[in-house]
C-alpha cells in the first residue's frame, strides 16, 4: 500500500501534462474518427518520451527519495506510464465508441 501511495505521488508531478495530451488526442479522435488513431498513438508515445526525459532531468535528485523508500526509478516509470497508457487507450476507445 505504501508503494502505491508513492507511485501516485510521483505521478502527480506530471499528471496534468499527460491528461492534457490525452484530452487533445480524444478531441482529435472524436473530430476525425478512427483514421487518426495511428497519428494519435505515436503522438502520445512521443509525448510520453518527452515527459520522461524532462522529469528525469528536472527531478533527478527526487529519485533518491523514492529509492530510499524502496522504489527504483524503473519501477516508478513502468507503473506510471503503464497506468497512463492504459487509461489513454481506454479513453480513446470510449471516444470512438461514442462518436
Q: What is the predicted pLDDT for the residue at 99?
A: 81
Digit-coded pLDDT (tens) for 83-99: 999 999 999 999 999 98
Q: What is the predicted pLDDT for the residue at 19?
A: 96
Cell of residue 43, nine digits: 503522438
At CA 4, angle to CA 49 and CA 48, rounded to 5? 10
The reported pTM is: 0.89
The proportion of the chain whose per-residue pLDDT surpasses 70, expressed as a percent, equals 100
Q: What is the predicted pLDDT for the residue at 32?
A: 94
How far apart, in whole angstroms, are the C-alpha atoms of residue 83 and residue 8? 10
Q: Write out residues in the chain with pLDDT < 70, as ranges.
A: none
Residue whose C-alpha cell reads 506530471 in the numeric block:
14
Amino acid at each position: 500500500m505504501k508503494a502505491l501511495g508513492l507511485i501516485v505521488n510521483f505521478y502527480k508531478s506530471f499528471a496534468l501534462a499527460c491528461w492534457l495530451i490525452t484530452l487533445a488526442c480524444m478531441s482529435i479522435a472524436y473530430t476525425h474518427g478512427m483514421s487518426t488513431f495511428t497519428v494519435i498513438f505515436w503522438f502520445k508515445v512521443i509525448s510520453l518520451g518527452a515527459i520522461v526525459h524532462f522529469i528525469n532531468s528536472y527531478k533527478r535528485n527526487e529519485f533518491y527519495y523514492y529509492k530510499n523508500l524502496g522504489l527504483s526509478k524503473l519501477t516508478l516509470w513502468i507503473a506510471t506510464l503503464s497506468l497512463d497508457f492504459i487509461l489513454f487507450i481506454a479513453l480513446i476507445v470510449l471516444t470512438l465508441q461514442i462518436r
